[in-house]
Amino acid sequence: MKQNKIWILATIAIILVLVVSLYFYFHSKPSEFINESELIKVINTQYYDADVLDSVEIQEVVFLGETHVFVPFVSNDNYGTSYWVWRNRSWELGGINTIQQPYVWKVEPEDPSTYVVVWNIDPEQEMKEFDIYLLNRRGYSVSNDVHHYTPRVQLNVTVSFETKENSYGVMSLPDEWKTFLDSYVKVEQSKQPDSFMFDFIHPSNVYFAWMPYDERGELSIPVSPNGAGRGYGEIHLENLSTIPEYELE
Amino acid sequence: MDTSVNIIEIVMTILSWGVIGFFFYYLYQKQEAKPKIWKAFVATFVGLFTFSFNIPLFETILDVPILPLGVWILLWYASSREGAWEKYRRFAWLGFSANFIFIATTLLTVFIHHAVYPKSNLSTYIANIEEVAISQLHPSAEDVTLDQESLELHVSSFEKAPVTSMDWYNVMIDTEPHERVEQFPYQLSGTSSKWGSGIPTMIYVEKDGKGLLIDSSERQRYFRSDVTILKGGNDE
């Protein structure tokens, strides 16, 4: 009987130690970020062009919290952005892009205060400034006499691109946007009874857009001749399209 | 203070498990040929498993059991063991019946929630007004601020009104987009619903400052008053 008890205790102890160590293993704080030459190597493998090799220049390494890193780079005159996340005890490439447009990176999708607008655009373009928009479509629905109205939301903030020192940028959202999105995300999340089934939140209608302008204030969309993007489905990156002028209120 | 806690739901969940526990105890005491207690537990949990239909009712979802799958599994398991079914039968069916206890408590939760947090009172959604702020959501919004005094004086005068969503939408449909005036161009923030209600809110303010459209986990609510809670803009 005594022998038995010892065995049970030993088993419990072993299981406890295993669980605790596994927890620390997968939830450990990130190590130092990958060094530059390693970064260049990974970025190079994303683009097959042989002559692109060795021409990658890392512009900066921007930490967004402890586990998310934004790395703008120039590769053979192509301006690009890359997105890194700390997952399973290593730094993984979440996405990489040389398409000339801004993105909204929802670092923690359920917390809009972590959302950032990022870009890396060739300074030789005609574009001198751009507007970032937060939009929601006006809509209504009636079912079983239950009315629902969605007000139009249209907010914008101007980024003076030509006065910026760098071709890239990271901008967190204005406070009013965060306040709005915070309420919006919480309400939308609570509307889905099975929301715990999905670990990512997708607000139904709210979206981001942008409008690039040249020095005359005319729409001037930067071209991306060799632009290509790749996502690995582990990050929440929203690409911004331009809005037809007639849709703006 | 975490406002996302739905206290009624928590209490009712504990209560429903308490009721099941009570019946379990009652059956166990009454039974002559007692099974091992943990086996009776397992039988109850397996009995919970059913083929069910989800019926949306009263803005919640009811899980109505149709086929007692768990009971069948136990029956099949016990069929090869003499006397086993006699021992576990009651607990298996207790598990199945527990689904009805859940339906009852879900309905009770809705009912009590409505009684404690009346959906026709603005105070359910706006429990504190000390740090309320107004922000613009649309180009047609004017440069207004919150009239704190007016809000404090008149917050209780807001009355429930029908959500006339079609009218608000259609009134602008023939207007050029850049001339459209949004009916609800402001957000009221810095407040939360009553403690324990667990209702997240998105509060839109009408352009005249006399109406509040509240989006939450349930249907939208609309409240009107005769007095504006905004100051500035073109009204003054």
Please report, rounded to a whole number, the percentage of residues in chain B having pLDDT higher than 70. 97
- Is B159 within the bounds of a domain? yes
pLDDT at B77 (0 to 100) = 84
- Is B148 within the bounds of a domain? yes
Among B84, B116, B148, identify where a domain stops. B116
- Are B222 and B131 in contact by the 8 Å Cβ rule? The answer is no
Given a cut of 50, whether residue B15 has pLDDT beyond it is yes
Among candidate residues B128, B181, B66, the one with its CA nearest the CA of residue A138:
B181
- Is B178 within the bounds of a domain? yes
Please give the full DSSP string across A34-64, using - where no structure is assigned: PPHHHHHHHHHHH---GGGTT-EEE---EES
The whole-angstrom distance between residue B128's C-alpha and the CA centroid of its chain comes to 20
Residue of A138, A148, A190 with shortest CB distance to B217 = A190
Alpha-carbon span B92 to B86, nearest angstrom: 11
- Are B213 and B122 in contact by the 8 Å Cβ rule? The answer is no
Given a cut of 50, whether residue A23 has pLDDT beyond it is yes
Give the pLDDT band of residue A53 (cuts 50, 70, 90): low
Chain B residues with beta carbon closer than 8 angstroms to that of A189: 200
Alpha-carbon span B232 to A77, nearest angstrom: 51
State which residues form the domain around B143: 122-232
Nearest-CA distance B140 → chain A (Å): 8
User: What average pLDDT is seen over chain B?
Assistant: 88
Same domain? For B131 and B111 the reply is no
The tokens of B40 are what? 């009776």
Alpha-carbon span A129 to A126, nearest angstrom: 9
Say yes or no: B137 contacts chain A, CB-CB below 8 A.
Answer: yes
pLDDT at B87 (0 to 100) = 83
Nearest-CA distance B75 → chain A (Å): 32
Convert the pLDDT of each residue in A122-172 to its tens digit.
Answer: 998 889 999 999 999 898 888 878 889 999 999 999 999 888 889 999 999
pLDDT at A204 (0 to 100) = 58
Same domain? For B196 and B143 the reply is yes
For residues A191 and B47, the model is more confident at: B47
Same domain? For B104 and B126 the reply is no
Convert the pLDDT of each residue in B128-141 to its tens digit.
Answer: 888 999 999 999 98
pLDDT at B41 (0 to 100) = 86
Q: Is B76 exposed, middle or buried (0-12, 13-18, 19+ CB in 10 A)?
A: exposed
The predicted complex's ipTM stands at 0.84
Given a cut of 90, whether residue B33 has pLDDT beyond it is no
- Are B225 and B157 in contact by the 8 Å Cβ rule? The answer is yes
Reported residue count of chain A is 249
- Are A99 and A125 in contact by the 8 Å Cβ rule? The answer is no
Question: By mean pLDDT, which of A95-104, A225-234, B224-233 is the weakest?
Answer: A225-234
**Structural element, H or E, at residue B23:** helix B7-30
Residue B136 CB partners (closer than 8 Å, separation 6+): A155, A176, B143, B185, B186
Q: Which amino acid belongs to residue B31?
A: Q
pLDDT at A144 (0 to 100) = 78
For the segment A54-68, the average pLDDT, to the nearest whole number, is: 87
Alpha-carbon span B34 to B41, nearest angstrom: 12
Same domain? For B194 and B148 the reply is yes
Give the pLDDT band of residue A190 (cuts 50, 70, 90): confident
Q: Which residues pair with A213 in a beta bridge?
A: A129, A219
Residue B174 CB partners (closer than 8 Å, separation 6+): none
Question: By mean pLDDT, which of A46-55, B27-36, B60-69 is the weakest?
Answer: A46-55
Question: By mean pLDDT, which of A47-61, A89-103, B161-175, B204-218 is the weakest?
Answer: A47-61
Convert the pLDDT of each residue in B107-119 to its tens digit.
Answer: 999 999 999 999 9
Give the pLDDT band of residue A78 (cuts 50, 70, 90): confident
pLDDT at A197 (0 to 100) = 40
The whole-angstrom distance between residue A37's C-alpha and the CA centroid of its chain comes to 24
- Is B85 within the bounds of a domain? yes
Nearest-CA distance A178 → chain B (Å): 11
Convert the pLDDT of each residue in B90-105 to its tens digit.
Answer: 888 999 999 999 999 9
- Is B2 within the bounds of a domain? no
Given a cut of 70, whether residue B1 has pLDDT beyond it is no
Convert the pLDDT of each residue in B146-187 to its tens digit.
Answer: 999 898 998 889 999 999 998 999 888 888 888 899 999 999
User: What average pLDDT is seen over chain A?
Assistant: 85
- Is B1 within the bounds of a domain? no
Give the 3-state secondary structure of residue B105: helix
Among B76, B96, B116, identify where a domain stops. B116
pLDDT at B234 (0 to 100) = 60
CA atoms A175, A176, A181, A182: torsion sign: positive
Same domain? For B126 and B96 the reply is no
The tokens of A194 are what? 């099975």
Same domain? For B104 and B128 the reply is no
Antiparallel, parallel or unpaired: β A241-242 and A207-213 = parallel
Alpha-carbon span A9 to A11, nearest angstrom: 5
- Is B93 within the bounds of a domain? yes
For the segment A32-49, the average pLDDT, to the nearest whole number, is: 80
Contact B216 A183 (CB under 8 A): no
Convert the pLDDT of each residue in B169-180 to its tens digit.
Answer: 988 888 888 889
Which of B220, B221, B222, B223 would best serve as a mutation to test chain A binding (most A beta carbons within 10 A)? B220
Among B116, B138, B158, identify where a domain stops. B116
Say yes or no: A248 contacts chain B, CB-CB below 8 A.
Answer: yes
For residues A190 and B127, the model is more confident at: B127
> Which residues numbered 48-77 in B keep a CB inside 8 Å of some CB on A?
61
The tokens of A3 are what? 């022998």
Alpha-carbon span A133 to A157, nearest angstrom: 7
In whole angstroms, how far apart are CA A168 and each of A61, A99, A150, B91, B132? Answer: 11, 13, 35, 66, 37
Contact B165 A183 (CB under 8 A): no
Given a cut of 90, whether residue A179 has pLDDT beyond it is yes
Give the 3-state secondary structure of residue B83: coil
pLDDT at A54 (0 to 100) = 59
Give the pLDDT band of residue A76 (cuts 50, 70, 90): confident
Give the pLDDT band of residue A201 (cuts 50, 70, 90): very low
Chain A residues with beta carbon closer than 8 angstroms to that of B201: 183, 187
Chain A residues with beta carbon closer than 8 angstroms to that of B213: 149, 151
Please state the φ and ψ torsions of residue A10, each to the nearest 5 degrees: -60, -45
In whole angstroms, how far apart are CA A70 and each of A33, A94, A103, A170? Answer: 11, 10, 12, 9
For the segment B42-59, the average pLDDT, to the nearest whole number, is: 85
pLDDT at A246 (0 to 100) = 81
Q: What is the DSSP letter of A106?
A: E
Convert the pLDDT of each residue in B212-232 to its tens digit.
Answer: 999 998 889 999 999 999 988
Give the pLDDT band of residue B42 (cuts 50, 70, 90): confident
Question: How many domains does chain B divide into?
Answer: 2
Please state the φ and ψ torsions of residue A112, each to the nearest 5 degrees: -60, -15
For the segment A78-104, the average pLDDT, to the nearest whole number, is: 90
Please give the full DSSP string across A203-240, using - where no structure is assigned: -SS-EEEEEEE-TTS-B-PPP-TT--EEE-SSS-EEE-
Alpha-carbon span B124 to A161, nearest angstrom: 46
- Is B180 within the bounds of a domain? yes
Given a cut of 70, whether residue A20 has pLDDT beyond it is yes
Chain A residues with beta carbon closer than 8 angstroms to that of B139: 154, 249
For residues A196 and B34, the model is more confident at: B34
Give the pLDDT band of residue B236 (cuts 50, 70, 90): very low
Same domain? For B86 and B156 the reply is no
Alpha-carbon span B73 to B68, nearest angstrom: 9
Nearest-CA distance B133 → chain A (Å): 10
Alpha-carbon span A120 to A101, nearest angstrom: 7
Same domain? For B93 and B130 the reply is no
Q: Which residues pair with A62 in a beta bridge?
A: A70
Q: What is the DSSP letter of A197?
A: G
Same domain? For B130 and B182 the reply is yes
Same domain? For B19 and B107 the reply is yes
Same domain? For B109 and B127 the reply is no
The top-scoring range by mean pLDDT among A64-73, A220-229, B3-12, B87-96 is A64-73
Same domain? For B150 and B185 the reply is yes
CB atoms within 10 A of CB A200: 9
